[in-house]
Structures are given as C-alpha cells and as structure tokens.
C-alpha cells in the first residue's frame, strides 16, 4: 500500500512540522506521486468493472441464442427478437 507524503518521506527523528528544504521537496513529490497512483488505481478499477460488464453481456447473449422455442416463449420472446439481441456486439447495451 502507498503511504503519502509525510509517512513516506519523513526523516527519522523529525516531526511532521520539521521538514528540511530537500525533504519538503521530496514530500511534495511523494504527494503528487500518491495522487497519480490513486488516480491510476481508480482508472484500473473502472476498466475492470467495464470488462466484467462486457463479459456478462456476452455470456447472457450466448445463453439467449442457445434457448429453444419453448424457452423463448416462456420469457415472452420470439426467435427473431432473441436473435437480434444475441447478435449485438458485447459493447452495445
């Protein structure tokens, strides 16, 4: 896990308010790095979530295409409607 600014770059024996000039610069750089890393992790989480949505959509459409006429009738669909939905690309809602 990343620790931002003070925890990461605090010089041993110093309190949070006692930073040297170089240490302060490192601390600020660390804070910027932490914000970037948190932003990157947010992007990765969103990407993984979108991939899961696409995977579920593709799986559902494959299962829909495999249903027989009786099962389609049970859910209120005809073959043409089911086929149109099953043939949509995974990225199309």
Query: Residue 58: its pLDDT value, please?
Result: 97
- The structural domain count of the chain equals 1
22 falls within a domain = yes
Tens digit of each residue's pLDDT (9 = 90 or more) over 31-55: 676 777 778 888 999 999 999 999 9
Q: Given a cut of 90, is residue 24 above it in pLDDT?
A: no
Q: What is the pLDDT of residue 5?
A: 44
**pTM given for the model:** 0.58
Check if the beta carbon of residue 35 is closer than 8 Å to that of residue 27: no
Residue 91: inside a domain: no
Distance of CA 74 to the CA centre of its chain: 36
Residue 15 lies in a domain: yes
For residue 23, the enclosing domain spans 5-86
Distance (Å, rounded) from C-alpha 76 to C-alpha 56?
A: 21
- The string of DSSP codes covering 12-34 is TT--TT---HHHHHHHHHHHHHH
26 lies in some domain: yes
């Amino acid at each position: 896990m990343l620790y931002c600014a003070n925890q990461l770059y605090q010089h041993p024996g110093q309190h949070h308010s006692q930073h040297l000039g170089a240490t302060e610069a490192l601390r600020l750089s660390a804070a910027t790095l932490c914000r970037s890393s948190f932003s990157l992790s947010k992007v990765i989480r969103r990407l993984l979530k979108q991939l899961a949505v696409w995977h579920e959509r593709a799986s559902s459409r494959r299962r829909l295409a495999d249903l027989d006429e009786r099962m389609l009738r049970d859910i209120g669909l005809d073959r043409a409607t089911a086929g149109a939905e099953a043939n949509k690309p995974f990225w199309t809602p």
